[in-house]
Each structure stands twice: as C-alpha cells, then as structure tokens.
C-alpha cells in the first residue's frame, strides 16, 4: 500500500517553540488552518481512500477539509499521537528542547531502550506507532492519508523505510503539512518514495519565523 504521512497544520506551540505532546492539545493558528485548507487541492490526484488521524485535536482539524472534499470519515488511532514530552512538556528553553531532541535522536541511532524523561521509551513509541500503521493496513485500501506529528513521522518513517538510514529523519525538516510518502507493508518492509518537507500549499504557507523544534533538523 501507499502511505501519505502528513504533518498537522501549524499550532500556537509550533510558533512559540513549545514542546507540546499532551492529548488533546491545541488547535491550529490562522496559518495552520490555511495550510489545512490547501490539502484537498494539493492531494486531489493521490487516490486517497481512507484518512486516519491521532487523538490530538490538531490532526483532526487538519484532516477535516481533505475528508470533506473526499467524502470520507477520518478514523482516529491513538498510536499516531506525537512522541510524549514527559518532563519537558510545555517547555521551550534550550536545555529542555535539547533533552527531547537528543532522546529522539538516540532512538533513531538505535538506542530504543532510552526513556524520554517522565514518558515513553523508544521501544514503547515504536510499538504503538507500528500497531497504528498495522491498523491502517488492515483497512485494505491501496492509498491512505495519515495525519500525524513532526517528531513521530520523522522518527518512525526513517526507521521503517529500508532504503534510508534510521537517522535519515534527523537530517531532514518536516514543516506543517509536509508529507512523507512510503510504499510497501509492515510484513514486507517500507520504501521511502518522497519527502516533501515544505507545506503542500506552497511558499506562502511557510512561516520562517516559527521556532518549531519538532519540525526542524534534529
């Protein structure tokens, strides 16, 4: 099957550089809503048959215009939520951001036993995200849109794709409504097809001033 892993639209936390992974979390900024509104036209020819979101509000709001355009009802999967922030939740200082990033970077480097302070380990993150993707596959569709989160998509997709090194996502940015496209299956392996790091609606939907630690290169 083909997976379109779509990062949600911009949130206030993205603008301010705040680590925010609590469910249900914030909605979108005005720019974030415009980014979401650009998805139907940008993805009209991708053959999307089902849409999946996380339990976090920002993914559901982002998916809504695309779902309406395609006449689909999004399916909510808890495992698609952002990597938990634990002790760094709600913080934006350099030490906290570096702690979050270095932990995720370590998972990408192969040390999945390390735990995000006060939250999940790499093994736990990959287990719940893998399970969510298997549920997407069980829908039986050929093309699925999965609206998820910056750190989660970058970390999982790089590890899942057999044609990239596991740390690939740490070197690539994924701005709000950027898309990572994979094809394959959990059983046979995934292949990275494309990494569209910019918002799909074009340059006018890019916010160069946002602090956004989960979308920039780790």
Query: Helix (H, G, I), strand (E, B), or coil: what is residue 192?
Result: strand
Q: Of how many residues is the chain composed? A: 218
CB 167 within 8 A of CB 109: yes
Query: Helix (H, G, I), strand (E, B), or coil: what is residue 19?
Result: coil
CB 142 within 8 A of CB 1: yes
Q: What are phi and psi of 28, to 5 degrees?
A: -105, 155
Active site residue 105: no
| Interatomic CA distance for residues 118 and 98, integer angstroms | 15
| Interatomic CA distance for residues 148 and 83, integer angstroms | 10
**Prior bond of 24 cis (ω within 30°):** yes
Residue tagged active-site, from 82, 84, 175, 181: 82
End-to-end CA distance of the chain: 29
Active site residue 82: yes
Within 10 Å of residue 106's Cβ, how many Cβ atoms?
Answer: 16
Catalytic sites, residue numbers: 8, 82
């Amino acid at each position: 099957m083909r997976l379109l892993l779509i990062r949600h639209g911009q949130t206030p936390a993205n603008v301010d550089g705040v680590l925010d992974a609590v469910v249900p979390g914030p909605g979108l900024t005005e720019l974030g809503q415009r980014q979401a509104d650009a998805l139907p036209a940008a993805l009209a020819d991708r053959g999307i048959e089902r849409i999946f979101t996380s339990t976090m509000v920002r993914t559901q709001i982002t998916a809504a215009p695309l779902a309406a355009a395609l006449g689909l009802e999004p399916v909510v999967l808890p495992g698609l939520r952002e990597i938990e922030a634990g002790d760094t939740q709600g913080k934006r200082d350099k030490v906290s951001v570096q702690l979050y990033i270095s932990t995720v970077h370590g998972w990408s480097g192969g040390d999945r036993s390390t735990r995000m302070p006060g939250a999940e380990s790499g093994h736990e993150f990959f287990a719940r995200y893998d399970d969510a993707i298997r549920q997407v596959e069980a829908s039986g569709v050929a093309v699925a849109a999965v609206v998820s989160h910056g750190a989660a998509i970058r970390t999982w997709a790089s590890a899942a794709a057999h044609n990239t090194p596991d740390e690939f996502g740490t070197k690539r940015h994924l701005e709000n409504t950027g898309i990572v496209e994979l094809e394959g299956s959990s059983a046979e392996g995934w292949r990275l097809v494309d990494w569209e790091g910019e918002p799909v609606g074009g340059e006018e939907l890019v916010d160069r001033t946002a602090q956004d630690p989960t979308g920039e290169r780790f």
